[in-house]
Structure 1
């Protein structure tokens, strides 16, 4: 029986067209649950169509079902992958045939490895993601004819080896192409969000530069007269309390203006020196000790190795103060700071045990005027993120409503410049 090349091309279209349409029509405004449901439906329909139009050789259905099945687990998670797997078992059972039992066994064996792949996948680079997907889908696709032979099906392996090999390679290439499309789409979404963040920060910076100084000057005068009022003898206790509250609010307004001015300035690091991140973190913790005590929060720190970078002390301390202060305000009982040093970078983890954040809240962190606190402005975190970027670092937040929030920062060590600076200092 000649190989049906038109069916092979049809399998390619069945798998790739729904994915391309999904990426073209999807947006990043929907919530994660809704996106996962839509993705699960797309993968389930793609898998069903792939089986429906499969090539039957010696009673064995050869198709591209493993590609949408794999993508369902990788990009939808275990719940979406389980849903698509159930759809597969139902559809395959309805079609029956001698290849049904081998296909069930092949899918069950693949399930043992998908959990590991799903957890590891998102920590890899794009190149490694593509290689992993190509290898995994190819091996999973090869299981069906192999298990069919082991089950004693009347199949001549020499007759079908070429046809099976073509489909195995095709599935691997489709997984390769699909992963590249999806990752490129995600990268563009992140880039667009980054551009939007930068545009908003630029607007806030320009506003700060033109307005903040003009506001601070009259505030300084008001604060001076209010302080004189506190020394007056003819004020009642309530009036003195009102004056004190007014001074506190003026101080808070002054802090907000300082944050605006920080955004308006060029924060480029001018004076670089060799810094021990652990020592800078301990200085910041010491400065916030009374603030932590006031909130009944215990702050602990663990340092693994000497975390040395080339940076600016005041900016690094400002970064730590803003993040630790936010963690203290969000914590129930404790804040943990963990610093790990590798040859190329320093990793900083600042975690709290308070109520976690939703996905929508995490996505809005760092935007102008967005804060999870009732009286917050979000400007402190904006300044912090700006400082992290200027050090060439990266940041991300992981949160759970029951486990709290972890703020993860990665700062490159710039090993060559660091060694050169140490030699010059010596």
Structure 2
């Protein structure tokens, strides 16, 4: 029995060391985006850990072995999604074949059962609170060990009860510990990314406060005198051309400063009931000439019933920033679709384009200061303004994008309270 206990602990040690090593690769010291860990990497890592686990397995009876390969299988299913689940189930069966015995049938039955269970549970699995997730993962592990004992007991007269007791205790406790460690590391990863964004936003906020008067006031004076020169009857035509360009650049500089000032004054100055349909129609009328110029069709659909609360001017800024980004992403035409709906969680506005889309790394960095996909034409402040204003309106931003398949940005807001009375 001591050999079984020792073998399972060694198995657990390899799993823990692999998780910690993976964490070091993902969270580099100075650059959080150094290593991309996708679903293929997760599948390969989980498969490797399953192979190591079965190589470290302990034989308890003719044709039956105990190991912890269910833990990497479970982790891969939790964080990998349906394609990974199917792949890991196949790997679990294949790596058991060389060992022979009646345990192959038990492994196959367990793999099929848990493939169906995990595919069914996956869509809402990571949305549950941490405590509930840990209890669920631990219960799944306990149930796996129970089924792994009942099947051979019924079909093959397996009676190694004490060995089973050791196995179920170690597997269940190890699953809880490993899943808790993964959740802590995952939370730390997300908090570190949020911390980096917060520090950059604070930098912009301080910068905005410092330049609001020192730059904006003299810029206004310069623009005023340029306008006088441009409109003066004695000004030559070629000079008017130069002054019009200078005025346009001054307006552009003023617009950038206004975006900075959003961070110096992040909260809406006024909070009024906003009728989404009216606000969206205003935005559509503003951007329609630009959309027509690029061969883009704008479509709208409204399925909400209640207004939201916010500053109309700042909300228009949100709509224009996102819509212009969508138009810029469709160089050769496409469809810009603005769609609203409502449920018990609030009012949701989705703005979808059929443009070039973004990678997962680009989506993760969206909203960072000075991060732009427009090259020299972008300041990287537009989406940062969007995130800040939506946050001040007690809303959330969700981005779903795939390269060459377009982007959908969903803004969710609480329902205006007075509308419920």
Q: TM-score, normalised by structure 2?
A: 0.84
Q: Against the structure 1 CA distance between its residues 317 and 83, is the aligned structure 2 distance closer, same or farther, given a 3 Å change threshold?
A: same
What is the CA-CA distance between 1:163 and the residue it aligns to? Answer: 4.5
Between 222-231 and 371-380, the greater mean CA deviation after superposition: 222-231
Kindly indicate whether the alpha-carbon contact (under 8 Å) linking 1:23 and 1:182 is maintained by their aligned counterparts in 2.
no
Structure 2 Cα separation of the partners of residues 340 and 162 of structure 1? 57
Match of 2:67 in 1: 63
Match of 2:373 in 1: 372
Say whether residues 1:126 and 2:130 are aligned partners. Answer: yes
Structure 2 Cα separation of the partners of residues 329 and 26 of structure 1? 32
In the alignment, structure 1 segments of 5+ residues that lack a partner are none
What is the CA-CA distance between 1:197 and the residue it aligns to? Answer: 1.4
Q: Against the structure 1 CA distance between its residues 344 and 397, is the aligned structure 2 distance closer, same or farther, given a 3 Å change threshold?
A: closer
Match of 2:389 in 1: 387
Say whether residues 1:51 and 2:50 are aligned partners. Answer: no
Match of 1:345 in 2: 346
Match of 2:327 in 1: 328
Match of 1:272 in 2: 271
Between 375-384 and 131-140, the greater mean CA deviation after superposition: 131-140
Kindly indicate whether the alpha-carbon contact (under 8 Å) linking 2:86 and 2:115 is maintained by their aligned counterparts in 1.
no
Say whether residues 1:107 and 2:107 are aligned partners. Answer: no
Say whether residues 1:189 and 2:189 are aligned partners. Answer: yes
User: What pairs with 1:211-222 in structure 2 (closer than 5 Å)?
Assistant: 211-222=211-222
Match of 2:174 in 1: 174
Kindly indicate whether the alpha-carbon contact (under 8 Å) linking 1:50 and 1:65 is maintained by their aligned counterparts in 2.
yes
What is the CA-CA distance between 1:237 and the residue it aligns to? Answer: 6.2
Structure 1 Cα separation of the partners of residues 161 and 278 of structure 2? 64
Query: For 1:337, what is the secondary structure of its paired residue?
Result: strand
User: What pairs with 1:403-414 in structure 2 (closer than 5 Å)?
Assistant: 403-413=405-415
Structure 1 Cα separation of the partners of residues 274 and 373 of structure 2? 32
Structure 2 Cα separation of the partners of residues 336 and 312 of structure 1? 23
Structure 2 Cα separation of the partners of residues 281 and 179 of structure 1? 44
Query: For 1:306, what is the secondary structure of its paired residue?
Result: coil
Query: For 2:115, what is the secondary structure of its paired residue?
Result: helix
Q: How many residue pairs get matched?
A: 413
User: What pairs with 1:213-252 in structure 2 (closer than 5 Å)?
Assistant: 213-231=213-231, 240-252=240-252
Kindly indicate whether the alpha-carbon contact (under 8 Å) linking 2:76 and 2:85 is maintained by their aligned counterparts in 1.
yes
What is the CA-CA distance between 1:83 and the residue it aligns to? Answer: 5.7
Measured against aligned partners, the alpha-carbon deviations of 1:349-387 in whole angstroms (never above 9, x if no partner) come to 211110111122212211112211231112222121111
In the alignment, structure 2 segments of 5+ residues that lack a partner are none
Q: Against the structure 1 CA distance between its residues 377 and 143, is the aligned structure 2 distance closer, same or farther, given a 3 Å change threshold?
A: same
Structure 2 Cα separation of the partners of residues 31 and 409 of structure 1? 30
Measured against aligned partners, the alpha-carbon deviations of 1:21-74 in whole angstroms (never above 9, x if no partner) come to 433554142343x45565445423432232233343332122221110121233
Kindly indicate whether the alpha-carbon contact (under 8 Å) linking 1:272 and 1:310 is maintained by their aligned counterparts in 2.
yes
Say whether residues 1:284 and 2:300 are aligned partners. Answer: no
Between 349-358 and 232-241, the greater mean CA deviation after superposition: 232-241
Structure 2 Cα separation of the partners of residues 301 and 128 of structure 1? 39
Kindly indicate whether the alpha-carbon contact (under 8 Å) linking 2:4 and 2:163 is maintained by their aligned counterparts in 1.
no
Q: Against the structure 1 CA distance between its residues 300 and 179, is the aligned structure 2 distance closer, same or farther, given a 3 Å change threshold?
A: farther
Structure 2 Cα separation of the partners of residues 89 and 238 of structure 1? 79
Kindly indicate whether the alpha-carbon contact (under 8 Å) linking 2:303 and 2:340 is maintained by their aligned counterparts in 1.
yes
Q: Against the structure 1 CA distance between its residues 302 and 46, is the aligned structure 2 distance closer, same or farther, given a 3 Å change threshold?
A: same
Kindly indicate whether the alpha-carbon contact (under 8 Å) linking 2:321 and 2:383 is maintained by their aligned counterparts in 1.
yes
Q: CA RMSD in A?
A: 3.2
Measured against aligned partners, the alpha-carbon deviations of 1:329-361 in whole angstroms (never above 9, x if no partner) come to 223321122222223422222111101111222
Q: TM-score, normalised by structure 1?
A: 0.83
Structure 1 Cα separation of the partners of residues 409 and 187 of structure 2? 21
What is the CA-CA distance between 1:233 and the residue it aligns to? Answer: 6.5
Match of 1:307 in 2: 306
Structure 2 Cα separation of the partners of residues 338 and 173 of structure 1? 47
Between 166-175 and 327-336, the greater mean CA deviation after superposition: 166-175
Match of 1:254 in 2: 254
